[in-house]
């Protein structure tokens, strides 16, 4: 079995490794408060290293946070869209992986299909990072955990309410609930529920995860409220989604059911007036902008772990 450290899903990490990654992200952020954004960290631990980034899907936060993260770690990032590479002309992901393994030290791939990332990693001799797939979004969750702990303290024992689509970000929250011992209440329309096999696996491992179609039941007394856009890239059933999701919109009335000091999170981009109102997204309980910034520190910690620096 390969001993390369791929970062493909939170479920594949030990609790100790996940904790180490989050702690590293906190420490890296604290060490460079008020520094210019592109100034390398004092130790520049990835000096001389190169990261290739492959985007089958568009990105703002993932792309910029990985590129700035590599600059801060002392390394360099190379950006590749699928259409700019031989992947767009039919080269297999395995062959692309074999070639890039000879040229760079790690690869981040944001893919349409999770299986593509698994196939890429199997053929790669260097660490592969899941930058988002249809199944999961593990990098996002590292930033979310950071943001929660900055305002709420240790995430262990906290109650997190997920409202809306049981999508890839929701799946990564399910994976993390088992590793870091927080309570996760998921409220979705019946036709857009979280993946039942992921919920069952988390429960079997001892995670406190519950699912419901009742948004107010899920949010009652929650320490953290999280939602995401109702129509993601690749979804073709917009009309059905727009009809199903309004009862899960996070507005002031919905937030009043959460704990008084509850934190609101959204991984962005937000569709204002749909899954969240302006008053919540821009309000004093919103951590969405810290969450976006924390993608940089989270990506840096993931890279450090993948390259054996943790």
Q: Which residue among the candidates 137, 175, 266, 297 is catalytic per the annotation?
A: 137
Q: Which residue among the candidates 295, 297, 299, 306 is catalytic per the annotation?
A: 295
Q: Which residue among the candidates 9, 56, 72, 267 is catalytic per the annotation?
A: 267
If we measure between CA atoms, which residue out of 25, 20, 65, 75 comes closest to residue 45? 75
* Residue with token string 């970062």: 7
Secondary structure of residue 85 in the 3-state scheme: coil
Q: Which residue among the candidates 105, 228, 266, 306 is catalytic per the annotation?
A: 228
197 is catalytic: no
Is the distance from CB of 127 to CB of 107 less than 8 angstroms?
yes
Per the document, the length of the chain is: 310
In the β-sheet with 128-132, what is the strand arrangement from edge to edge? Answer: 76-81, 50-55, 106-110, 128-132
Q: Which residue among the candidates 56, 72, 140, 285 is catalytic per the annotation?
A: 140
CA dihedral 21, 233, 268, 242 (to 10 degrees): -130
Distance of alpha carbon 87 from alpha carbon 297, whole angstroms: 30
165 is catalytic: no
295 is catalytic: yes
98 is catalytic: no
Which are the catalytic amino acids? 110, 137, 140, 228, 267, 295
């Amino acid at each position: 079995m390969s001993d390369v450290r791929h970062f493909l899903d939170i479920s594949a990490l030990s609790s100790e490794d996940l904790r180490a990654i989050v702690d590293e992200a906190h420490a890296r952020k604290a060490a460079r408060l008020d520094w210019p954004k592109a100034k390398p960290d004092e130790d520049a631990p990835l000096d001389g290293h190169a990261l290739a980034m492959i985007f089958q899907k568009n990105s703002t936060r993932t792309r910029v946070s990985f590129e700035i993260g590599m600059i801060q770690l002392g390394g360099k990032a190379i950006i590749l869209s699928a259409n700019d590479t031989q992947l767009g002309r039919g080269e297999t992901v395995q062959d692309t992986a074999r070639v890039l393994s000879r040229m760079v030290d790690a690869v981040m791939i944001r893919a349409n299909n999770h299986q593509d990332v698994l196939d890429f990693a199997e053929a790669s001799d260097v660490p592969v990072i899941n930058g988002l797939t249809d199944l999961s979004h593990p990098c996002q969750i590292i930033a979310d955990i950071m943001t929660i702990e900055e305002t709420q303290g240790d995430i262990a024992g906290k109650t997190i309410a997920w409202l809306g689509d049981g999508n890839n970000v929701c799946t990564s929250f399910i994976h993390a609930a088992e590793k870091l011992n927080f309570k996760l209440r998921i409220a979705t329309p019946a036709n857009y529920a979280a993946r039942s096999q992921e919920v069952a696996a988390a429960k079997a491992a001892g995670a406190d995860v519950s699912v419901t179609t009742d948004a107010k039941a899920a949010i009652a007394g929650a320490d953290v409220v999280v939602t995401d856009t109702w129509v993601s890239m690749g979804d073709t059933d917009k009309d059905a989604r727009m009809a199903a999701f309004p009862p899960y919109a996070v507005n002031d009335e919905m937030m009043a059911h959460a704990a008084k000091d509850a934190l609101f999170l959204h991984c962005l981009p937000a569709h204002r007036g749909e899954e969240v109102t302006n008053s919540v997204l821009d309000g004093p309980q919103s951590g969405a902008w810290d969450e976006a910034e924390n993608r940089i520190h989270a990506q840096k910690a993931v890279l450090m772990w993948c390259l054996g620096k943790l």
